[in-house]
Structure 1
């Protein structure tokens, strides 16, 4: 264990990683529902925005996962 005295930090980072994982799952469902090939313009625009936001979320998620993995149990 390499986080003696920082258990709250470890707990918070693990919780954040889990929340981001849940958010990524929700985003994927929405991306499949509203995609760029949808018939309606608003749905296509939402699909493009969701895809861009998902790419940004992937980057943030990767950063948090690296931080989460830096803690050794």
Structure 2
């Protein structure tokens, strides 16, 4: 569950950094913020994959009983 929260925090951080970069005209900050958002998306995908794997393992265990 912590991975989801970490991803949400990283996403928010990236959005803020990107917005600040956009407002100040700092392309570097804007790109760094966008990169953090992409990283957050990857973290979310990993968390979802883990959840789905656990569900599949649970269904398999139930089916073999």
Unaligned runs of 5+ in 2: 60-65
TM-score of the aligned structures, taking structure 1 as reference length: 0.56
2:16 corresponds to 1:20: no
Candidates 30, 41, 46, aligned match of 1:55:
41
Task: Name the one with the larger helix percent.
Answer: 2
TM-score of the aligned structures, taking structure 2 as reference length: 0.61
Unaligned runs of 5+ in 1: 1-17
Pairwise CA RMSD of aligned residues?
2.2
Which residue in the other structure is 1:3 paired with? none
Which residue in the other structure is 1:45 paired with? 31
Secondary structure in 1 aligned to 2:7?
Answer: helix
**Higher RCO (C-alpha 8 Å, min separation 6):** 1
